Amino acid sequence: DIATKAKQRGCITVMGGYHATFRDKEILSLGMVDYIVKGEGEYTFSRLVQNLEENKDISNLPGVSYRKDNVIFEASIPKPPENLDDIPFPSRELLPLGKYWMTQIEGEPLMNIVTSRGCPFACSFCASSNFAGLRWRTRSIDNIMAELEHLYYDYGYRGFAFMDDNFTLQPERVELMTEKIQKNKMNIKWWCFSRVDTIMNNVTLIKKMASSGLKMVFLGLESADPRSLKDYGKKITTEISEKAIKILHSNGIKVLGSFILGNIHDTQETISKTIEYAKKLNIDIAQFSALTPFPGTKFFQKMIKENRIFTWDWKLFDGAHSVIIGDYLKPQEIQKMIFSAYIEFYRQGKQISNVWGFIRKFVNTHVPFINAYKEAYYQRKRMPFSSKKHNIVQQQRTFS
């Protein structure tokens, strides 16, 4: 819709990001977008703008797919930047930040920071390794601290969300960062994504992270079913996850646990087992999502090969709707169980008091829960939608 309105005003339209990178031909064929910047786009987009301003040919620009005279020219994903320190900080002063609603942590507005890129783990449901590469690249500590201090002193931010896929992959790096935060007497509150294995192997680091202001960790716990964990490429066990959560809680750190329901071989029994597992873990927030074949993932390719995707309405590829045909459960059955998962988890005594505490104190700290719960409620109202298999070749048209 935004691209359409921009085109109506005579603007040149450019898209980037995960979906645009992996579905560039489809997007360009719709006529609303002129160029697609694939992969990490800082340098590619800058070169594209420069070439357009100077009326230069863009056909040889790496990483730019485009449409010309109704012909689509598809580019490959370019090699990602090696030195992340060379990328300037976002020009936040160009945005009226005060007009934007912002997530909070314990009353402090959160500003996002990314300190590393790339992922060596290649989980089947995630496109990160195909988008940013398998090799993990990190910014220097000095560069990270320079941005933190800029946001802390120049903008007044005291809440930070480290959005790295693998923030704790290199413990020494995180330890040095926490030491500098404390040395500089920066009174901040922050949260990050992590993995249960890195927590288990770095108990001392967790203590230092807590001392520097870590308030919450997002963990991909995914499932209680060993087969699903294997399918997802998660080399963890339920026992390891339980121990990692206890370590975090013992240091006063809250846990947001993410679970994926609706694997192709899931049954009511396996999903119920995962829901009970989530309740048993005593985590602070639970997020339940439908297994979704996002473009760029191994799971997407598998679902295409097996002819299991029954709709190409991308609005439904949101983690809240089931869009695949499983062996035992219909999509609407999976969605009902997702709704039930939220009800069962949050009606527990501790979670009920937490919910009211969040509403009273800092409700928007916990957007993942609230948005997912709201969506689960409305998706129940929308149920059922057809679970009939459609011919995937026809659905995809020419966008295979």
- The residue extents of the domains of the chain are 2-73, 99-382
Peptide bond into 384 cis (omega under 30): yes
Structure tokens at 204: 């001392």
pLDDT of residue 144: 99
pLDDT tens-digit profile, the chain (400 residues): 899 999 999 999 999 999 999 999 999 999 999 999 999 999 999 999 999 999 999 998 999 999 998 899 999 999 999 999 999 999 999 988 888 878 899 999 999 999 999 999 989 999 999 999 999 999 999 999 999 999 999 999 999 999 999 999 999 999 999 999 999 999 999 999 999 999 999 999 999 999 999 999 999 999 999 999 999 999 999 999 999 999 999 999 999 999 999 999 999 999 999 999 999 999 999 999 999 999 999 999 999 999 999 999 999 999 999 999 999 999 999 999 999 999 999 988 666 655 554 444 434 433 444 454 444 434 434 443 333 333 322 333 333 3
Q: Which residues contact 1 (CB under 8 A, 6 or more apart)?
A: none
CATH superfamily, domain at 99-382: tm_1862 like domain (3.80.30.20)
In order of 131, 183, 184, 390, the CA distances from 310 in angstroms are 25, 55, 54, 5
Other CB atoms within 10 A of residue 221 CB: 27
pTM of the model: 0.86
β-pair type (108-113, 64-68): unpaired
Contact, 231 vs 260, CB < 8 A?
no
* DSSP-H helix ranges across the chain: 2-8, 18-22, 24-29, 42-53, 128-132, 141-149, 171-183, 196-200, 203-211, 226-232, 238-250, 268-280, 298-305, 331-346, 349-360, 367-382, 392-396
Radius of gyration for the alpha carbons in the chain, expressed in angstroms and rounded: 22
Q: Which of 283, 277, 281, 284 is nearest to 261 (CA)?
A: 277
pLDDT of residue 390: 34
CA distance 150 to 181: 13
pLDDT of residue 352: 61
pLDDT of residue 380: 39
pLDDT of residue 99: 85
Long-range own/partner contacts, residues 343-352 (CB < 8 A, 24 or more apart)? 344/275, 344/279, 345/275, 345/278, 345/279, 345/286, 345/288, 346/286, 346/373, 348/279, 350/282
β-pair type (189-194, 214-222): parallel
pLDDT of residue 1: 82
CA distance 27 to 31: 8
Structure tokens at 88: 């300037």
Contact, 124 vs 299, CB < 8 A?
yes
β-pair type (108-113, 159-162): parallel
66: alpha, beta or left? (left if phi > 0; alpha if psi -120 to 50): beta
Helix (H, G, I), strand (E, B) or coil at 359: helix
CA distance 312 to 303: 12
pLDDT of residue 356: 54
Structure tokens at 147: 């941005």
